[in-house]
Structure 1
Amino acid sequence: MAYAEKVDTVTVSGFVQSLQEPRTPYISPKRFSKALGVQVANLAQLTGVHRNTLRNPSSERVQGRLREIIKVITAAATLTGSIDKAIYWFRNEPIGDYDHKTAAELVAQGHSEAVLAYLRDLENGARG
């Protein structure tokens, strides 16, 4: 992962706000899939829910899984310097310490905490 100037909290907040389901306190699966550049069916795989479940953005399971992905992306953004670079990293860059799986693959398997720990290690000076 290439290090860059840290992303500011306004950028992160703007990203998160852009994902809001209109007139609700929920993350919009449709907006989130668009931000990630994936089809809704692929977002369902990432979140570990059936694609029809994503039609109910008020589902606590859906919201919890979407928040996990947001945590990983925003943590990665602090290292890469941008949300776009963080999303690219999340989807595409294999992590050697985890059998060369991408962060997206690890999160889909329920290992978001391991990815966050990896990012904390990088932030604290470990080599990636």
Structure 2
Amino acid sequence: MLAAFLDDIRDGDLIAPRLMAERLRLPMTRLSKLAHLNRNTMTSRPASPAVQEKLGQIARIITRAASLTGDEDRAIIWFKHQPLPGWGKTPEELVEDGLAQEVLDDLERHSEGVYS
């Protein structure tokens, strides 16, 4: 299941911005805003380390959430629509605010049985 998500967004060894946007059901402009990248840079230089790092953060969040929910589609819905307790924002909004690591930390606490 998780391998399917990663397979869906990869082009060879790279995370493909267009494929990730399609899988998350987001326009490219929204994905570029989440990743704090220029849309043109994202599409013209997808192999750039900065592009791969920022998209990799989002991919790690989705795959970690999918491992907890047991379903990648649920993980995507959670990412886009479920406000995190204590934050009052969705994981998508927190990533946009530059708080991807905090989302990953919250997921890690959940996996250890600690709930926010």
* Residue 35 (structure 1) aligned with residue 23 (structure 2): yes
Q: What is the count of residue pairs matched by the alignment?
A: 115
The percent identity for this pair of structures is 33
| Residues 1:120 and 2:108 are matched in the alignment | yes
Name 1:14's counterpart in structure 2: 4
Distance 1:58 1:124 in 2: 34
Greater RCO (Cα-Cα under 8 Å, separation 6 or more): 1
Runs (4 or more) in structure 1 with deviation over 4 Å come to none
Q: Which has the higher helix share?
A: 2
Flag the structure with larger Rg: 1
Q: Which residue type is aligned with residue 45 of structure 1?
A: K
CA apart distance, 1:120: 1.3
Q: Quick one: distance in 1 between partners of 2:48 and 2:97?
A: 20
Question: Counterparts in 2 of 1:50-61, with a 5 A limit?
Answer: 50-55=38-43, 56-61=45-50
CA distance in 1, matches of 2:15, 2:23: 12
- 1:84 aligned residue: 73
TM-score, length-normalised on structure 2? Answer: 0.92
SS in 2 for 1:91: helix
**Matched residue, 2:54:** 65
Please report how far the alpha carbon of residue 25 of structure 1 lies from its aligned counterpart in structure 2 after TM superposition: 2.2
